[in-house]
Structure 1
């Protein structure tokens, strides 16, 4: 007997809006409310409102909280200034990625780690285990303490400004500040995952519905629409952002995924010691000297859509040279796109003779640099 999916504080609201629901990482989540293409384009041109309450929040406190994070994660988190956030990863001792994370430093001795829903328990268990020896740090599971709403799109600053007196203009990218939004206490963050400007609002679950309604009303004239997981995926795909379980797995290192920049071998604490260091040093050397495969973008010349797991082949010979990790129609480009790992010799943008095997048909694709889409700032 399987456990019933968990429901967010906004579950009844989603159903009242007629959302198509789906089981995602053990949560019942809105997939779409109407047309996923319309939701996607609303975020690109106006604004979209998302429920991200399935994400996993873990709080670390104490004088050694920063040192514990330096040891547990690949980044130098003790150097993070209060009020700022950082994208990072947690790896195993082989350098394989357990999850990609955003870490917020809320105060000198308080950090919040935000994990993907599918990996939240894994991350919590790893941090708890790695806390042995750090008596001045405590790890707390705060997944039940937060609901998470996100307003994304070019109209999002104006919508949020109408509901808060917090200094949004002074809130930098990858930062967060406490504030009140529509009378609700919130951590207001600005990290974004859609390729557009946007804000994430961490609030108490009991305040989530009132805040959703207030945002909906404030965004009515700006064209704000509710958005589900489906367009969230196509938005991040266009923005070239990796997704755990697709581009990132325990069989890939940050260097394999072209994200070696998040690994900081020079750390403020622990004499530079951290889990996976030795394996990651080897991976860094491999990536610099002779990477076997690289992560690239592919744009279709035809209309057939690639999916994760489809082989990438050399046109003509049919030799397998890689594998699609994510693929979907791109509403912005008007063509199917994919992210794939391909042999290094085929990874340069403009490389000819690359195709995707879609059910036995070798469909031609153009190799491009990621991201597919970047907003004009």
Structure 2
């Protein structure tokens, strides 16, 4: 089990630590609901240093990224970020990722912790022009400072004008006395905020500075449990749950990051799938009757016939109702459609709704 740089800090703060993607990670501190509310209303800090980071550098860096990702990275300019995915050759997804353009020959790719080795090998398989690929995951820490008060708290620690940064943009600058921190206007909560990338050796210095700056803003450490409920309320896909090696980006509602203006891995088959029409679709739903939907629970129509499966589900702390996402046959994908979730051999009524939930 790998430890992130601040593992002992989290233990000292009373975090419940659990194994996640091969790392010892904080899942909660005071409780998921309280931590969830902190991020929605104030500001919280997630340590997500388990994520993977690759630097791609060289004349062919953009061509390689264009070949292996579904989105059109040629649209990026310096300081911009793009959400994308790595399609496989069978119609599914190797991983979803962020692509950062540092300059025209240098890119940062941020991938999921559970897929670091898989993704690195996958990208190398297409590296036919000698692009330098440097895996900096083990020496990089990543903190996500999220919530409506994040800008005010973090602005105390840098001269970078945070308020002027557009969503999905980034700047490098001095932060909490540390040079060359990458400050990114991104996050996985839908609550606003930033993600900070820096070398492990500065992790404690930066963590302590953030909490000192936020002491009057109800700042709190937040675990992976609340990260999951926050992203689900916004309908964000989680790799391994809502998308995986068997799910098409078109089925997952990721057509907006699947650009057929270029050729990429399996693009011909995915374009054919788009023209023919998909047979299943990822939808959001809310429970009508009482019950919590869980991963892999069957989804049925009112007649009790199985039409899909749950990929994510929880009791929404904001809405105080049970919500979820799952794949259903496309004829049941319209908002307002009555469905049911098979919970302990009982078909519990639910309804398809538009996402985000909040």
Instruction: Confirm or deny a common fold (TM above 0.5).
Output: yes
Task: Determine helix, strand or coil for the equivalent of 1:279.
Answer: helix
Counterpart of 2:276?
A: 286
Q: Alpha-carbon deviations, 1:20-69, whole Å to 9, x = none?
A: 00100000000001111000010000011000100000110011111111
Query: Is residue 151–residue 200 contact of structure 1 (8 Å, CA) maintained in 2?
Result: yes
Number of residue pairs aligned between Structure 1 and Structure 2: 357
Q: Does the alignment pair 1:372 with 2:357?
A: yes
Q: Please say if 1:44 is aligned against 2:13.
A: no
Shift of 1:145: 2.8
Matches within 5 A, 1:234-253: 234-253=229-248
Say whether residues 1:181 and 2:175 are aligned partners.
yes
Residue 301 of structure 1: how far off its partner (Å)? 2.1
Deviation above 6 Å: which 4+ runs of structure 1? none
Residue by residue, what CA displacement relative to the aligned partner does 1:189-216 show, whole Å, maximum 9, x if unpaired? 0112101111000011010111111111
Task: Name which of 191, 194, 209 aligns with 1:196.
Answer: 191
Partner in structure 2 of residue 334 of structure 1: 320
Aligned partner of 1:148 among 117, 142, 147: 142
Higher deviation after alignment, 93-102 or 232-241: 93-102
Is the contact made by 1:253 and 1:283 (CA closer than 8 Å) also made in structure 2?
no
Give unpaired runs (5+ residues) of structure 2: none
- For residues 115-126 of structure 1, what are the structure 2 equivalents within 5 Å? 115-126=111-122
User: Could you give the per-residue CA deviations for residues 320-355 of structure 1, whole angstroms, max 9, x where no partner exists?
Assistant: 111100001100000111101111221111113x11
Question: C-alpha distance in 1, partners of 2:292/2:269?
Answer: 36
**TM-fit CA distance, 1:260:** 1.1
- State the secondary structure of the residue aligned to 1:144: helix
Supply the distance in 2 between the matched residues of 1:104 and 1:95 (Cα, whole angstroms).
Answer: 25
Correspondence for 1:343 = 329
**Structure 1 unaligned residues grouped into runs of 5+:** 268-272
Separation in structure 1 between the aligned mates of residue 37 and residue 276 of structure 2, nearest angstrom:
40
Query: Could you list the per-position Cα deviations for residues 248-299 of structure 1 after superposition, in whole angstroms to 9, with x for gaps in the alignment?
Result: 11111110101111112213xxxxx321122211222233xxx211111111
Q: Distance in 2 between matches of 1:334 and 1:172?
A: 32
